[in-house]
Amino acid sequence: MLRKLIIAGNWKMNGSRQMAEALIGDVLAHYKVDAKTQVLLFPPAVYLAQTAQLLEGSAVHFGAQTVSEHTSGAYTGEISADMLQDMGCQSVLVGHSERRSLYKESNEDVAAKFMAAKQQGLVPVLCVGESLEQREQKITLDVVLGQIAAIIEENGVNVLENAVIAYEPVWAIGTGLTALPEQAQQVHQAIRQYVADLNEEIAKNLPILYGGSVKPDNAKQLFAMADIDGGLIGGASLKSADFLAIIEQAQQVEK
Ligand code: PEP
């Protein structure tokens, strides 16, 4: 086994204290911790303290769904990487497609957030992906590799050490449409090759997750692909039975 499979749940703006307690309780009760998998939860920021408390001493990691690029100061409503680290977060999502499209985060904004996370020792999960229109125009790789280039051109490829990439075709997020395993693998392989051309060791260790309507009935085929190292799960991470079933599917993958 080269890389662990990461099963990450992005709750987006869903949940409540009660829901967090029940869901995290179910995950802790039923996830059979093994050396092959790492479970990671991204609850809304207001539930991070509760999440930290519930997960204390467990093997499950957690983080926030976004982070400010600034370290502190007059940025009303924002949360810094330092604060996330202070709350016990190990990780943070950056550049999720909803942040890029709804909150107009540019590649440069995402790069700054990525670096802010790194500077505090958080593992950034960099989300990349093309829209349906871009796929139809056959510019998927230009878009995806461009989103990654925006980070490494400025900061060097070494910043991908202790980082994660999540390939999430925008047309597959929350739509019920999933990329075929071979379709996703093609993009994952291209990402790994792009990084390998700059640094083979970093590419070999880089977890590249797939996201976009991952469900219990398609997870195993996706995770079995050579360059797919787990999933970033939205909708299905809100139902503990589905999320746990996806974790189990990952645990059954042999590669
Ligand atoms: C996501 O939010 O990153 C995601 C992939 O959502 P869904 O699984 O609901 O498509």
For ligand 1, atom 2, which residue shows the shortest CA distance?
234
Write down the catalytic residue from 69, 96, 105, 130. Answer: 96
Q: What is this structure's pTM?
A: 0.97
Residues 114, 163: Cα–Cα separation, whole Å: 9
Question: Mind listing the domains of the chain with CATH numbers?
Answer: 5-251 (3.20.20.70)
Quote the strand ranges of the chain, DSSP E: 5-10, 37-42, 61-64, 91-94, 123-128, 164-167, 208-211, 230-233
Q: What is the residue-level pLDDT of the chain in tens, covering all 255 positions?
A: 689 999 999 999 999 999 999 999 999 999 999 999 999 999 999 999 999 999 999 999 999 999 999 999 999 999 999 999 999 999 999 999 999 999 999 999 999 999 999 999 999 999 999 999 999 999 999 999 999 999 999 999 999 999 999 999 999 998 988 889 999 999 999 999 999 999 999 999 999 999 999 999 999 999 999 999 999 999 999 999 999 999 999 999 998
Residue to substitute in 6, 93, 170, 173 for testing ligand 1 pocket (most ligand atoms within 8 angstroms of CB): 173
Residues 30, 34: Cα–Cα separation, whole Å: 12
Whether 168 is a known active-site residue: answer yes
The per-residue b/e assignment along 3-32, b for 16 or more CB within 10 angstroms, e otherwise, is bebbbbbbbbeebeeeebbebbeebbeebe
Residues 206, 218: Cα–Cα separation, whole Å: 23
Cβ < 6 Å from ligand 1: which residues?
10, 12, 168, 173-174, 211-214, 232-236
